[in-house]
Each structure stands twice: as structure tokens, then as C-alpha cells.
Structure 1
């Protein structure tokens, strides 16, 4: 069973629909016992980093997520919150990944938020997703980005800079783009996560 963490974030339904399309048993829940018992956990969403971290800390979900030992997949803001710090509200995040989250400050005419399809380039360190993902396009909606670091397994370029498209460390996996909105390549990435 896949537990999708319900935590005061927007855009969670699209992840549920993607899991339904794949035919995976799943449940949207904030119940710590159900999350701990799940085979896999997805931590998705759209929201403001500081207000979301406040909610996670107040409800105990922050410590719960840090303690999980099964595979966990952070999506979009879920990925950013797994990092060490975000400029969005100047907040300390969950600290799973040492990478930091910065705001796009375009100087070349690119628009923020970064919205639309962009190429994903797999790093040599990728040990997660199928090689066929390399060079394919995924769907992004974000104004903040994660600087590449030791846990980066894929990158994308926007606003004249390369940033982390995907991260992996121990049992934690993450994507800045929305795999649930990225057509066949997104489904491939979700299936690769479910297979770990």
C-alpha cells in the first residue's frame, strides 16, 4: 500500500489520480500509524514552505517523515521541504538532503514561476530511474529551485542556471517537476519509484 501524506498542501489530488491510473492501492492520510505501515510513502503538494513547515512541526509530521525507513517520494514542494533550508519564508526544512532551496531571480527575461515542459538530464549518479528518462521533458510549476548537490540524480536548466530536477539519498527520493502531470515519462518515473 502507498500512503500519500495529507498535510495542508494543494494539488495532492493529481497524485491520487495518477496512482489510480497505474492501478496502485493507495490512501491519502495523516495518520502516523498508517504512514509507518505503508510499503511506500509519497509526500506531494504545492504550498508555501514556511507555513507548510509550521504545520508539519505542529502536527508531528515533520519528525514522522524524518523517521521513515521505507521509500519516500517528495514531489515539488515535497522535494523542497526535504532539503535543509528554503528562502521561501527563510525556514529550516526537514534536513533529509543537505541541499538548499533558492528563489529564481531571472536576469535573462525568463518568467517566474517556471511553468511548463523542460528537459531532464540524468546525472552519472542516477541509480533510480530508467535511462529512457534522460533527455525527456517533464512538467514544472515552481518559483524556487534546489541547487545541485551530492544527492542530485537529474538536472534541468532554467533562468540560465542548472538546478536539481531529482534527488536521491538512502530511502528518500524526490522530483521538482510533477511526474503525475508529465504524461508517459512521469508515469515511468512513478513506476520506477514503486519498484524500488
Structure 2
């Protein structure tokens, strides 16, 4: 059987090589590139992201990433956002009082976590949504690796979306799955066997 092809979108942000290696370990054929044609043609597109929301959006716009994502989603072709790559899928992000427009695939804002210890860094359990494809076969005690100070803390989108929540003093969205578009606030590529299971489930669904 031919391996599923995955592009990790290179727009100057994210743990590109660690994401590539993690996806290769679960059997995908992976290319790291900013090329729109390759991103459109692949079975799956991974949008990574670390750092500031505003900087990630600036980098994404430089390679016309918003359009690449929008066209794939409109065509029903799989996209997976990771960490800030999840956050930029929402309509806007608010950091240090500055509001930045996001990709707008999902309504709502990404805002700062109101917690005594920031960033939220380390391992945490999640409460996966009923019918989740990403978390299929995973135990409720599975832990995932997070490092972030901001998150989507409310869901304003459609009721059909499968929502997975975590808590760091306050509840926040740890993952969202809606049609071809899925995203995780945690880093599956840094989350050991549980993260590998997430990526394997995603690749299997391509």
C-alpha cells in the first residue's frame, strides 16, 4: 500500500523537522515545504506553529498560507493545525492587548490563559469529545505535552464539531475536529506514544 503523502507547511514557524520525523514514524511520506502546489496535492497538510500569533500570521501570509488552508478545507481535504497552528485557524488572536486577524476557519478568539503559572508547560490529560477520530483507542489517562500561554477558551462554531478540552486553572480547547479540519493545542510530536497514536489516527483517516 502506498504511504499517505503529508506536507508540513514551512512558513518560518514551528518544529518542522520534529513534526516530519513523528509523521514518518507513523508511516506517512512527508515533505517540508512552502510550495502551494505540493501543499494542495498532498493527502494531508500539517500547519505547525510556535511563538507569537501575530508573527505566525505574518509568516503564513507571506506564502499565501491562508488561501492554501482555505482551499483545502473547501475541497474537503485534510488539514491538521498544531499549537499556534491551531490558534491561527480561529478568527482572531489577542496578545499583549494587540488583536490580530487569523485565518477565520473557526469563529472566536484566542486569548490569554488566566492562570497563576504561565506558560502552561508540561503534561496534561484531556477530555476527548464523543466520536473523536483523533483520540480513537486512547485511554482517558493519556497525557499530552503542552507549552502555551494562550488558547481558545470558548467554542462559537457549529455543534457538529468534536471538541476536546483540557484545564490549566481554566478550561480551554485542547483539540477540535470538524470535517477535514482538525487541530491540537498540544504537541503530538512531543507527546510520546499518545502523540504518535494521534498522528497515526490522523494519517489513517487521510
TM-score when normalising by structure 1? 0.91
Cα displacement string for residues 31-88 of structure 1 (whole angstroms, at most 9, x for unaligned residues)? 0100101011111121211122122223311111111131110000100011111112
Q: How does 1:27-38 map to 2 (within 5 A)?
A: 27-38=31-42
Which residue does the alignment assign to 2:66? 62
Secondary structure class of the residue paired with 2:107: coil
Q: 2:181 aligns with which of 152, 165, 172?
A: 172
> In the alignment, which residue of structure 2 is the partner of 1:153?
163
* Cα distance in 1 for residues equivalent to 2:121 and 2:136: 24
Contact 1:43 1:74 in 2 (8 A): yes
Of 37, 44, 56, the match for 1:40 = 44
Task: Give the match for residue 90 of structure 2.
Answer: 83
CA RMSD, 1 decimal? 1.6
SS at match of 1:84: strand
Note if contact 1:148-1:155 (Cα within 8 Å) is conserved in structure 2: no
Would the aligned equivalents of 1:121 and 1:135 in 2 still touch at CA under 8 Å? no
- Give the structure-2-normalised TM-score: 0.87
Are the equivalent residues in 2 in contact too, given 1:114–1:140 (CA < 8 A)?
yes
C-alpha contact 1:3 1:28 (8 A) present in aligned 2: yes
Structure 1 residue ranges (4+ consecutive) displaced by more than 6 angstroms after TM superposition = none
Partner of residue 98, structure 1: 107
Give 1:8 deviation, angstroms. Answer: 1.1
The 2-side partners of 1:131 and 1:154 are apart by: 15
Q: Provide structure 2 residue ranges, at least 5 long, that are not aligned to the other structure.
A: none
Give the deviation of 1:127 after TM superposition: 4.3
1:184 and 2:193 aligned: yes
